[in-house]
Amino acid sequence: MRAIFDKRLIEKYDKAGPRYTSYPPATEFTEEVTYEDYEVKLKESNERKTPLSLYFHIPFCESACWFCGCNVIISHRKDVTKPYLDFMYKEMDMLSEIIDTSRKVIQLHWGGGTPNFLSNEEIRELMGEIKKRFNIDPEGEISIEIDPRYLSEGQLETIREVGFNRISMGVQDFDEEVQKAINRIQTEELMEEVMAKLRDLGFSSINIDLVYGLPYQTYEKFAKTIDKTIELSPDRVAVFNFAYVPWLKPLQRKLDPSTLPPPEEKLKILEMTVEKFQDAGYVFIGMDHFAKPEDELSIAQQKGELWRNFQGYTTKKGVELIGIGATSIGMLYDAYFQNYKTTRAYYNALREDRLPIMRGYILNEDDIIRREVIMDLMCNLGVRFKKIEDMFGIKFKDYFEREINELGEMERDGLIKISDDSIDVLPLGRLLIRNVAMIFDVHTRNKKEARFSRTI
């Protein structure tokens, strides 16, 4: 289903709202949820015997990208990694004493920061320590984020050798003026070389990240970036809307707000981006991803099996996510937990022999029901009433009577279709699925003020 762009409707519905990498959103996390709750919930998860997903956060970067909203540590010293890795091994030790380690790990991801900040020896060591403690499925999704600018000699070969089969890279924009403004110079020639090497090494999936709304971006410039990206032919592309929030991300104070494209230009850029990727044969996934038709994401969306977690869109619904490292978030069936964000607090907790949990959220039954509906809308572009009724023993139209009434205006505007047995997102509603999902979100509904990015 191709998205249809309607400027009037986008302007009508554009407002702040969650991205729904979880429901309830991370704004609901509370420090009242502790490491003791985490231990209880991990033991309960053993009873479910679900497969596992492991996320490792490597926070270090060699240089600062001024648009960045991630939790990173800028360092030119490579010796900062040893204590961090040692504490991650301790966290893994503690987790492996609680988790049934016979459970298969079918997803493993290293993010950051810049995981290739680690040396080749450290990459081998960390992967070896993970495999000592957990049951890694060699056929699973083993993925890593890299910064192509800082690849060391033989590093891609090492990454492939230890078992990674998927790779993700940030590009943001190929235009030199934009790159200078965000302090990230990354040439087309470098990307061509890296892409060729990745294909030679046999990576099964290559993802490129782009960002629209950056300083000095224009319709014409970003069109060239899209054309170049299509020429590189990655399996997946993520195109994120830049959120300028210098009060939350101090690095962004280095950006001149007068150089940011105005809202009108951003809408033109977005429309062009969606059209170009669809014309090139990519399938529009969820709200900000594109994938080749044969990619697992495209197939999962077509089957109605796509899901979403803190790492983005995934084909592995029902997998329980364990976050390891500073700032990492875990996502169990009925609970979310986040580690301390600073290395100091993270280290201190582990020194005291307690899991480094800073905050979290325990879901109630209503949260779980609403999460299923919201994720179906966000991922699979519709919700089937019978599926929800069979899962939870409710009558959909009775349980969500208020929400269905509130969706009436969106139906009249052509964003969705409500039938006797389903709610379906229509082509006009593709770019506004966050707005549709928000109708079912009782937490955001009850908040007078929430710090979210705008939905478009």
Q: What is the pLDDT of residue 6?
A: 87
The DSSP 8-state label assigned to residue 87 in this structure reads H
* Burial bucket for residue 4 (CB in 10 Å: 0-12, 13-18, 19+): middle
Query: Which residue's entry shows tokens 């046999």?
Result: 202
- What values do phi and psi take at 328, rounded to 5? -65, 150
The pair of three-digit structure tokens given for residue 403, joined into one six-digit string: 């929400």
* Predicted confidence band of residue 221 (pLDDT cuts 50, 70, 90): very high
* Predicted confidence band of residue 101 (pLDDT cuts 50, 70, 90): very high
Mean pLDDT lowest for which of 25-29, 81-85, 199-203?
Answer: 25-29
Distance CA 233, CA 443 (A): 40
The pair of three-digit structure tokens given for residue 170, joined into one six-digit string: 């940030």
Instruction: Give the closest residue to 104 by CA, choosing from 68, 30, 50, 47.
Output: 50
Cβ distance 79 to 339 under 8 Å?
A: no
Average pLDDT over residues 102-114: 95
SS3 call for 39: helix
Instruction: Give the closest residue to 19 by CA, choosing from 334, 301, 417, 289.
Output: 289
Average pLDDT over residues 364-393: 96
CA dist 388 → 382, 392, 406, 430, 436 (Å): 12, 6, 19, 22, 17
Q: What is the pLDDT of residue 316?
A: 82
* Burial bucket for residue 188 (CB in 10 Å: 0-12, 13-18, 19+): middle
* Burial bucket for residue 401 (CB in 10 Å: 0-12, 13-18, 19+): exposed
Query: Which residue's entry shows tokens 């016979």?
Result: 102
pLDDT greater at residue 1 or residue 197: 197
Q: How much of the chain is in helix, strand and coil states, percent to nearest 5? A: 45, 20, 35
Q: What is the pLDDT of residue 70?
A: 81
Distance CA 316, CA 107 (A): 8
Q: What is the pLDDT of residue 250?
A: 87
Distance CA 29, CA 360 (A): 5
Q: Exposure string (b/e) for 17-52, b if CB count within 10 Å is 16 or more?
A: bbbbbbbbbbebbeeebbbebbbebbeebeeeebbb
**Residue type at position 367:** D
Q: What is the pLDDT of residue 447?
A: 66
* Predicted confidence band of residue 456 (pLDDT cuts 50, 70, 90): low
Instruction: Give the closest residue to 436 by CA, choosing from 397, 389, 399, 381.
Output: 381
* Predicted confidence band of residue 455 (pLDDT cuts 50, 70, 90): low
Q: What is the pLDDT of residue 263?
A: 87
- What values do phi and psi take at 30, rounded to 5? -135, 150
Mean pLDDT lowest for which of 221-235, 248-262, 379-393?
Answer: 248-262
pTM of the model: 0.94
* Predicted confidence band of residue 18 (pLDDT cuts 50, 70, 90): confident
The pair of three-digit structure tokens given for residue 323, joined into one six-digit string: 């976050």
Cβ distance 147 to 114 under 8 Å?
A: yes
Q: Note the Cα 295 to chain centre separation in Å.
A: 17
Q: What is the pLDDT of residue 305?
A: 86
Cβ distance 274 to 4 under 8 Å?
A: no
The pair of three-digit structure tokens given for residue 383, joined into one six-digit string: 């919700």
Q: In 124-164, at which residue ranges do the beta strands (DSSP E only) sit?
A: 135-146
Average pLDDT over residues 133-157: 96
Average pLDDT over residues 424-428: 95
Q: What is the pLDDT of residue 7?
A: 85
Instruction: Give the closest residue to 435 by CA, choosing from 414, 413, 456.
Output: 456
Pick left, alpha or beta for residue 262 (phi over 0 → left; psi -120 to 50 → alpha; otherwise beta).
beta
The pair of three-digit structure tokens given for residue 86, joined into one six-digit string: 């040692």
Q: What is the pLDDT of residue 451?
A: 59
Query: Domains along the chain?
Result: 1-24+364-456 (1.10.10.920), 27-323 (3.80.30.20)
Answer whether residue 272 shows pLDDT above 60. Answer: yes
Answer whether residue 148 shows pLDDT above 90. Answer: yes
* Burial bucket for residue 274 (CB in 10 Å: 0-12, 13-18, 19+): buried
Q: What is the pLDDT of residue 243?
A: 84
Average pLDDT over residues 131-158: 96
Cβ distance 426 to 417 under 8 Å?
A: yes
Answer whether residue 237 shows pLDDT above 80. Answer: yes
pLDDT greater at residue 311 or residue 254: 254
Answer whether residue 211 shows pLDDT above 60. Answer: yes
- Give me the chain's average pLDDT, please: 94
Cβ distance 210 to 241 under 8 Å?
A: no
